[in-house]
Amino acid sequence: MNRRQLQLGAAAAAVWLIAPMASAQNWPDKPVKLILSQPAGSGPDAVARLIGDQLSRKWGQPIIVENRPGGQNAIGAQAAAKAAPDGYTFYFATAAALVTNVYLFKNLPYDPQKNFTPVGMIGKVPFALSVNASSKLRSLQEFVNHAKANPGKLTVANEGPKTFSGMVTRLLAADVAIDVNSVPFSSVAAAVTDTVGGQTEALVSDVPSIAQMVAAGKLRPLAVTTGKRIAGWDNVPAVSETLPGFDYSGWMGIVAPAGTPAPAVQRFNRDLDAVLKDKGMADRLLAIGPVTEGAGTVDQMAAYLAAEHRRWAKLANDLSILPE
């Protein structure tokens, strides 16, 4: 009897071990939720839905985009961090949610380094310094000279001190040793409108938010904040051409709640990479936001996040930025 019980127990254990493997091979066998910290109709929302549509076709399962905006990404990030790590909930994250918030906010309701496991990169979102098209400023050097001649008076619109555009404004000013009047706005759309209208002299924003106004001849980009010039804006110099090493861009990526089964993470990563490396998809994404080079591997995503944390921790220390 004991031997038979042992045999039955071993058989049950084998079935228990095989079951997760079998389910992993069939993943996903039900809808997958993608939580987003931005509202419907935003740039990240458009990117998430475009990618979700392609993955849904591959998987034969719907991708449900759940918008949880507010709290400087904290509401959506917290919801994703507390979701069941069963392979059916993922988080469409930004640089702010996974990195910079740590150095700007004292009491985050989630820990981006402990609560999430990396899945893959979506792409980087270039930012730019621009001015009203009627401005006399036609280059980064002229912008710097004007700021130095008028310390504290040159107005630069952005989305606020605890946002990526606000941080880039501060970093640029520090690196070229100028004092500007950083003007916070509730949204990038409002900042663009006031700069076009002449209420503010300059603007730091993501490139997709100003592309239409640049094309219409209402804004003039002086420089992009990426490490090199970007496609389609080849005549716009990079800040790094004046300040070697200056390379700041927003980015988007996918993470999962910590403890999510590795097979689901790897499958998501592999299929995301295939979607992003499609030329047509890359072009469609570029038109609304990120510049993509594929998802990379899970390990590459983890290494990138670790490097970003080291970089922003140093910057926060160098600029005496204290979380509030």
Q: 206 Cβ partners below 8 Å, 6+ apart?
A: 43, 125, 126, 127, 128, 164, 165, 188, 250, 289
Q: How far apart are CA 298 and CA 268, in angstroms?
A: 10
Residue 13, in any domain of the structure: no
Q: Would you say residue 18 has pLDDT above 50?
A: no
Residue 11, in any domain of the structure: no
Question: What's the angle, vertex CA 322, arms to CA 319 and CA 324, rounded to 5?
Answer: 145
Provide the pLDDT for residue 271: 97
Q: Which CATH number does the domain housing residue 56 bear?
A: 3.40.190.150
Looking at the structure, tell me whether residues 145 and 233 fall in a common domain: yes
Structural domain ending residue among the three candidates 241, 269, 298: 241
The residues with which 158 forms a beta bridge, in sequence order, are 184
Looking at the structure, tell me whether residues 78 and 224 fall in a common domain: no
Structural domain ending residue among the three candidates 192, 223, 241: 241
Looking at the structure, tell me whether residues 120 and 258 fall in a common domain: yes
Q: How far apart are CA 170 and CA 166, in angstroms?
A: 6
User: What does the pLDDT look like over 91-120, one tens digit per residue?
Assistant: 999 999 999 999 888 889 999 999 999 999
Q: Which domain holds residue 146?
A: 126-241
Phi, psi of 201 (to 5 degrees): -85, -30
- Angle, helix 2-25 to helix 262-276, in steps of 10 degrees: 20
Q: Based on the number of CB atoms within 10 Å of its own CB, is 217 exposed (0-12), middle (13-18) or buried (19 or more)?
A: exposed
Phi, psi of 164 (to 5 degrees): -65, -45
Q: How far apart are CA 216 and CA 165, in angstroms?
A: 23
Q: Where are the alpha helices (DSSP H) in the chain?
A: 2-25, 43-59, 74-81, 95, 101-104, 140-149, 164-175, 188-196, 207-215, 262-276, 279-288, 298-318
How confident is the prediction for the chain on average, in pLDDT? 90
Q: Which CATH number does the domain housing residue 192 bear?
A: 3.40.190.10
Q: Would you say residue 13 has pLDDT above 60?
A: no
3-state secondary structure (DSSP) of residue 44: helix
Q: Which of 256, 253, 323, 261 is nearest to 295 (CA)?
A: 253
Rounded mean pLDDT, 61-73: 94
User: What does the pLDDT look like over 183-242, one tens digit per residue?
Assistant: 999 888 899 999 999 999 999 999 988 988 999 999 999 999 988 998 889 999 999 999
Phi, psi of 151 (to 5 degrees): -60, 130
Looking at the structure, tell me whether residues 131 and 102 fall in a common domain: no
Residue 8, in any domain of the structure: no
Q: Which of 71, 11, 89 is nearest to 3 (CA)?
A: 11
Pair 96, 77: CB distance under 8 Å: no
Place of tokens 């861009």: 249
**pTM for the predicted model, two decimal places:** 0.84
| Residue 197 amino acid letter | G
- Split at pLDDT 50, 70, 90, the class of 305 is very high
Tally of domains within the chain: 2
Looking at the structure, tell me whether residues 116 and 132 fall in a common domain: no
Looking at the structure, tell me whether residues 195 and 206 fall in a common domain: yes
- Angle, helix 262-276 to helix 279-288, in steps of 10 degrees: 90
Provide the pLDDT for residue 145: 96
Looking at the structure, tell me whether residues 137 and 236 fall in a common domain: yes
Q: Would you say residue 147 has pLDDT above 60?
A: yes
- Split at pLDDT 50, 70, 90, the class of 5 is low
Residue 2, in any domain of the structure: no
Q: 5 Cβ partners below 8 Å, 6+ apart?
A: none
| Residue 267 amino acid letter | R
Structural domain ending residue among the three candidates 186, 209, 241: 241
The CA-to-CA distance between both ends of the chain, in Å, stands at 66
Pair 288, 41: CB distance under 8 Å: no
Residue 17, in any domain of the structure: no
Query: 212: which 2 tokens?
Result: 């239409």
